[in-house]
Amino acid sequence: MRSSRLLEMVLLLQAKNPRPARELATALEVSERTVFRDVDALSAAGVPIYATRGVRGGICLVEGYRRAISELDEDEIRALYVDGNDPLADLGFGAPLKRAREKLAAGLSERQRHVAEKARARIRIDQRRWGQDEVPTAILSVVRRGVWDDRRLEIAYRDRTGKRTSRRIDPLGLVSKSGIWYVIARSGAEYRSFRADRIVSAELLGERFERPANFDLDAYWSQSTQQYAATIAYFPVTVRVASASLDEITAYWRTASVEPDGDDFSLVRFDFPSRSAAVHQLIAWCDLATVVEPPDVVDDVLGLARTAIARYQPLAPALS
């Protein structure tokens, strides 16, 4: 698109000024005649750009025009170019983000480009948890359009119990937390947070809604997460585990502390969301970890183990 080419020309001139028209034509993959037409278009739009003749002539940008790019320091460049599993890609912005970085790179100096490449090669961010379901990109694409254009959505939603309902919502924002997307919306008179991976279907309706003038997405999410955290009564459990199994048992659950206990063992404290969740997980870890505290939870583990034996032992001959 021509608008993208005009922006890229300005970025190229910020990196090296002036530049011969032939050099710009090669970089932009157009003819020199097109370069001069673009110079006229930029000049007409108010960009202080002009052409000069002579051995040292070329296309010039007035010194000092938007020099912010050339003044980016190394940490600012690293922040822009660290690679990874970017949440923007979930919303369909992966390709535009890549193009934006490429255009920005055209305006960087040689030293700055080296810093950008180094950041991309040495740091990668992956926010997905192990075993996490695929991100519902098709649903998110529809929701994003609703958020952007203030358009109402009709969604089919499955709650944590599996119950499915149909709702009309006013989508106000999107939040990504630990690889899970949430749709912040007004449903009736209430503000709600819907997990995007529980939205079975989403239809963009023709009707628009008026966005609340006083709604602040950041403030809402901060308050909402604080309220949710206050409702969680964690059930602490300490287990003794062999060092070889430490990575396996700390991969998912909330770990409060890890302390060495001899050469080959560690004491690990977990904050489980409930006693029941702790008991079921401890059964799964029966060959990896031994309960240290609280001692009474061992009775629950044994009770659940006896229930499993009573249920499945009569079936063993038939299954063998």
Topology annotation, domain 137-231:
SH3 type barrels. (2.30.30)
Q: What is the DSSP letter of 162?
A: S
Query: What is the CB-side half-sphere exposure of residue 279 using CA atoms within 13 A?
Result: 17
Nearest-10 Cα torsion for 79, 80, 84, 90? 120
Q: Decide if 58 contacts 52 (C-beta within 8 A).
A: yes
Say which DSSP state 19 is in. Answer: B
Report the alpha-carbon distance of residue 82 to residue 116 in Å, rounded: 8
Give tens-digit pLDDT for 101-151.
Answer: 777 776 677 788 888 888 877 777 777 766 666 778 889 889 989 999 999
pLDDT of residue 68: 56
pLDDT of residue 300: 93
- Determine the topology of domain 2-61 in CATH: Arc Repressor Mutant, subunit A (1.10.10)
Q: 75-107, pLDDT tens digit by residue?
A: 777 777 776 556 777 777 777 777 777 777 766
E strand spans, 79-224? 83-84, 124-125, 151-158, 164-177, 180-187, 190-195, 199-208
HSE (CB half, 13 Å, CA atoms) of 235? Answer: 14
pLDDT at res. 301: 92
| Pairing mode, strands 265-272 and 190-195 | unpaired
CA 49, 47, 26, 31 torsion-angle sign: negative
Residue 65: per-residue pLDDT: 65
pLDDT confidence of residue 296: 93
User: Per residue in 229-264, pLDDT tens?
Assistant: 888 788 999 999 998 888 888 887 878 888 888 888
Whether omega before 294 lies within 30 degrees of 0, making that bond cis, reads yes
d(CA 174, CA 31) in angstroms, rounded, equals 43
Residue 279 tokens read as 């008991």
Residue 303: CB atoms within 10 Å: 11
Residues 6+ apart with CB under 8 A from 39: 9, 49, 50, 51, 59
Helix (H) or strand (E) holding 266: strand 265-272
**What per-residue confidence (pLDDT) applies to 201?**
94
The answer to whether the pTM exceeds 0.85 is no
d(CA 7, CA 17): 15
- Tell me what percent of the residues of the chain surpass a pLDDT of 90: 30
What confidence tens digit (pLDDT) does each residue in 58-72 have?
A: 888 887 665 556 666
